[in-house]
Structure formats: structure tokens, C-alpha cells
């Protein structure tokens, strides 16, 4: 019999690109390290048990990827279809933040219930979100889709911590964006922290290297410290960053079916 508050976490890669360290990390030259290539992978996360399924972010759209020369590994809607998730039906979606690679397919979920921090929603609904340094990371049509869902009553905002369901907490951090959030999930293998873009890479967290795109640098640093405290206190056993190409190697690979080679899991649905 499955537990109501334990889940399987699926990490599914849908895209990739190649970049340079100096474009990824803020003021990289101050660290005295040479520039060099660095990969960046793009993921969606699925949290599920016998009773409920929660989608954490929904990936970039065709237009969003094309506008930034990103490469699809597998379209997000194909990933959901492979898992038997009907995107036209009512789904529960956590939006960790409103960048193009996290909300690009919201319009494909016409009946979804969306959860996002109030600070995050209000920022992108404000004129400040249209300033060039912020707007580069979004697509106007995708912000419009989020706004339309809000106007339709399908968006729930929160501040601080939201207990989304037994064993699933959504926690507002800020830093990378004004209200970027993480998702803390209980599994049979311990507690998982889906860090999204509070931590893009493991080395970002381990070596205290802030990401290049940041709304509030002190809060980004504070986010690193908050995660370290959770790990050191034993409250989190598995840290899942937003974009590290090594992520899938650190967990149990999916070895068969349509997601073989592009997904890993933590925990099992009993």
C-alpha cells in the first residue's frame, strides 16, 4: 500500500545547449579561473504517487528555444504523454519562476491549476519585468498566458512556504528572480530538494559561484546558505539543481521505455 505523503520524483531532460563559463557565472574573471566550455541541460520534474501528480515547471516552447538557439532532446509534451499525463485535463503545476524555460508551455495546459509565489507573479506582471535585462529571459506571449490563467482564477499565489500536499512543500527563496521557489518532496529514498534555478549547477552551490542572471545577489547567496543548512541538518538528502548536465548520472537512470536515457528517478511508487 502506497503512502499518501511519499512520492517518486522523475527528472526528465528536454533540452540542451553549449555555453561558456564566463557567460554562465557572474563576473567570472574575479575567481582567477580560465574561461572554458560548459554544458547546460534543461529539465522538467514530475512528482507523483498513487493519489496525485504534480508537475514542476513545463519547459521552453518552440519559439522560446528557437529565439535563443536551444536544442530539444524531447519535447515536454512528449515526455508527459509517455507518462500518461493528459495535458488537456486538469493538472497541478508548480511554477518555480517565470523564465522562458520554465513556463514556455503553460498555454498547452488549458485546465491546469498553477502555483507561483506572489512576489514572482507580481514582478512579471509589473512594468519592471519589461526592462531589457529582465525581459530577455521571458517571452511576452508566455507571460500573457500566465496572466490569462491568473485572470481565469487558475493561479494560486503564496508567500513564504506553501504546503501543496502532504509531503510536498513549495518554498519561496528569491535571488535569481524576485520569487524563485524550490520544491521539497518526501520520497522512499529521503527528502528531495528540487532547487530549480536557485542552484543551476552543483559547482555553483559547492563553490559559491553566483549565476550571471540575478535579480537580488544577497538573496542568491542566502539561498545557497539556506540549502546548505537544510542538507547539514539532515532535512534534505538529495539536491537536484536546475541545469547541471551531471544531474541524471547522480540518480537512478530510467533504462527502458520512451524516457530511457533522458530521465532519472528518486524514490518509487509502491
CA-closest candidate to residue 107, choices 79, 81, 87, 135: 87
- Percent pLDDT > 70 in the chain is 99
Question: pLDDT at position 269, please?
Answer: 83
Residues 13-30: pLDDT tens digits? 999 999 999 999 999 999
Q: Give CA–CA dist 224/208, Å, rounded.
A: 7
- The verdict on residue 95 lying in a domain is yes
pLDDT at 47 over 80: yes
pLDDT at 108 over 70: yes
Contact present, 102 and 196 (Cβ < 8 Å)? yes
Q: What angle do CA 124, 127, 128 make, to 5 degrees?
A: 70
Residues 226-242: pLDDT tens digits? 999 999 999 999 999 99
Residues 202-216: pLDDT tens digits? 999 999 999 999 999
Band of pLDDT at residue 2, cut at 50, 70 and 90 = low
Exposed e or buried b for every residue in 119-149, given b needs 16+ CB within 10 A? bbbebbeeeebeeeebeebbbeebbebbeeb
Hey, is 150 helix, strand or coil?
A: helix
- The verdict on residue 1 lying in a domain is no
Dihedral sign computed on CA atoms, order 200, 186, 146, 123: negative
Question: pLDDT at position 3, please?
Answer: 84
- The verdict on residue 2 lying in a domain is no
Q: What is the mean pLDDT of residues 62-75?
A: 97
- The verdict on residue 224 lying in a domain is yes
pLDDT at 163 over 50: yes
Q: What angle do CA 255, 269, 252 make, to 5 degrees?
A: 30
Q: What is the mean pLDDT of residues 249-265?
A: 97
Band of pLDDT at residue 1, cut at 50, 70 and 90 = very low
- The verdict on residue 252 lying in a domain is yes
Domain with residue 146: its CATH number is 3.60.15.10
Indicate the number of domains in the chain. 1
Q: Give CA–CA dist 57/207, Å, rounded.
A: 26
Containing structural domain, residue 230: 8-266
DSSP 16: E
Q: Give CA–CA dist 14/48, Å, rounded.
A: 19
Q: Give CA–CA dist 60/64, Å, rounded.
A: 6
- The verdict on residue 18 lying in a domain is yes
Q: Give CA–CA dist 132/120, Å, rounded.
A: 17
Residues 6+ apart with CB under 8 A from 157: 115, 116, 117, 118, 121, 122
- The verdict on residue 96 lying in a domain is yes
* Terminal alpha carbon distance of the chain: 7
Contact present, 92 and 58 (Cβ < 8 Å)? no
- The verdict on residue 3 lying in a domain is no
Amino acid at each position: 500500500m502506497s503512502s499518501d505523503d511519499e512520492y517518486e520524483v522523475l527528472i526528465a531532460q528536454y533540452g540542451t545547449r553549449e555555453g561558456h563559463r564566463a557567460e554562465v557565472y557572474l563576473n567570472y574573471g574575479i575567481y582567477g579561473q580560465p574561461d572554458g566550455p560548459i554544458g547546460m541541460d534543461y529539465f522538467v520534474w514530475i512528482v507523483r504517487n498513487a493519489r496525485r501528480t504534480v508537475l514542476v515547471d513545463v519547459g521552453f516552447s518552440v519559439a522560446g528555444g528557437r529565439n535563443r538557439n536551444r536544442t530539444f532532446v524531447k519535447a515536454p509534451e512528449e515526455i508527459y504523454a509517455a507518462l500518461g499525463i493528459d495535458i488537456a485535463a486538469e493538472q497541478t503545476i508548480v511554477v518555480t519562476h517565470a523564465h522562458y524555460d520554465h513556463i514556455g508551455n503553460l498555454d498547452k495546459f488549458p485546465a491546469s491549476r498553477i502555483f507561483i509565489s506572489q512576489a514572482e507573479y507580481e514582478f512579471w506582471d509589473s512594468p519592471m519585468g519589461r526592462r531589457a535585462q529582465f525581459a530577455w529571459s521571458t517571452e511576452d506571449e508566455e507571460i500573457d498566458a500566465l496572466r490569462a490563467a491568473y485572470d481565469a482564477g487558475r493561479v494560486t499565489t503564496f508567500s513564504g512556504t506553501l504546503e501543496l500536499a502532504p509531503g510536498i512543500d513549495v518554498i519561496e527563496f528569491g535571488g535569481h528572480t524576485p520569487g524563485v521557489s524550490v520544491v521539497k518532496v518526501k520520497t522512499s529514498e529521503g527528502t528531495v530538494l528540487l532547487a530549480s534555478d536557485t542552484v543551476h549547477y552543483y559547482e555553483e552551490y559547492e563553490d559559491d559561484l553566483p549565476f550571471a542572471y540575478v535579480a537580488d545577489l544577497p538573496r542568491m547567496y542566502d539561498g545557497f546558505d539556506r540549502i546548505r543548512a537544510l542538507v547539514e541538518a539532515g532535512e534534505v538528502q538529495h539536491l537536484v539543481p536546475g541545469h547541471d548536465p551531471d544531474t541524471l548520472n547522480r540518480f537512478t537512470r530510467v533504462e527502458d521505455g520512451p524516457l530511457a536515457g533522458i530521465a532519472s528517478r528518486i524514490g518509487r511508487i509502491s
